[in-house]
Copies of this chain bind each other. A is one copy, B any other.
Amino acid sequence: MPMPDGDILDAANDGDATSFIQPVMDEVADAVDRHFDSLLAIPDDPRSRLIEAMRHAAMGGGKRLRPLLVVASCDLFHIDRDRALRVGTAIESIHVYSLVHDDLPCMDDDDLRRGKPTVHKAFDEATAVLAGDALHALAFEILTDDATHPDPHVRSELVAELARASGQSGMAGGQMMDLAAGDGAFDLATITRLQQMKTGALIGFCVEAGAIMAKLPPEGRTPLRGYARDIGLAFQIADDILDVAGDEDRAGKALHKDAEAGKQTYVSLMGLDRAREQARALVDQAIAHLSGFGKEADLLRAIARFVVERDR
């Protein structure tokens, strides 16, 4: 089933969100690439292979949705853009390491990512494991630099929340559940819990990052948590829709993998139409969580719509 141009939810959205956020997306993508470029200078010794593999994984690709969310969350609280971009680069470093490891032959065994050979194909498996590990450490190095935030309380909390979001109770735990889901015995509730850990926890951290940097007390973060939970789920449903209805050239990766692997997804459990409805409803609900904010939340609102408009 070919995907309608520019919008996986066909007529429900008019593509405005994408054009609204495109300039910010471009700015974020440029800045993240520039950060990685300076953090990953190629040394004149046998480590060069490691750094080249890190650059291959981290630079010149991807939607940079997570750094964009950090920037949007920081906009709410008028946090300096440079600081937001540093935190965004740290989170992207975690995201990229997880992609490098997930693509390994022993995991999802993917040959293509963002339109390029995966790291273990372009280099080798050992280098891919190490490049992932080094990108993982790099994230925490970025966060603890004074340039990220002058208040060490904030730096320490950023590290604590990122570690929690990416570890056993977050991304890594969700990926384990995903591997276990290969047998196809999961229901909707379990898949939702899996998704909330595998991708939702890191997205949640992106959206809270602005509040952490603004030292907003935890009780003030409830709307942001609601927004993050809803767009996280909408993002995953959109991914599942893309997997059955997307275009491989645009997506830059192999599609139809879940069905081939006999994996249950939102689409296999709900059907394509109900999945689309559900994604739309989640986007509306995410935006409703932001009703207490004014124009400073427009970027977050547009991202919520983009999450289901995107074609990759």
Contact = CB atoms under 8 A, between A and B. Distances in A.
Given A137-B163, A152-B155, A172-B133, A180 B49 contact: yes
A164 interface: yes
A151 B152 CA distance: 9
A271 interface: no
Interface stretch (A81-89, A140-148, A290-298): A140-148
Contacts of A137: 136, 163-164, 166-168, 170, 172
A167 B152 contact: no
Contacts of A133: 97-98, 101, 132-133, 136, 166-167, 172
Nearest to A197: B47
Interface in A142-191: 143-145, 151-153, 155-157, 159-160, 162-164, 166-168, 170, 172-173, 175-177, 179-181
B50 A134 contact: no
A126 interface: yes
A47 B164 contact: no
**Secondary structure class of chain A's binding surface, majority of residues:** helix
B176 A49 contact: yes
Nearest to A138: B167
B155 A54 contact: no
A207 interface: no
A157 B175 contact: no
A57 to B, nearest CB: 12
Contacts of A180: 46, 49
Contacts of A157: 144
A197 B130 CA distance: 14
Contacts of A138: 163, 167-168
Closest 10 CB pairs of A and B: A137-B167, A106-B125, A144-B160, A46-B180, A50-B176, A140-B163, A134-B172, A152-B152, A141-B163, A134-B168
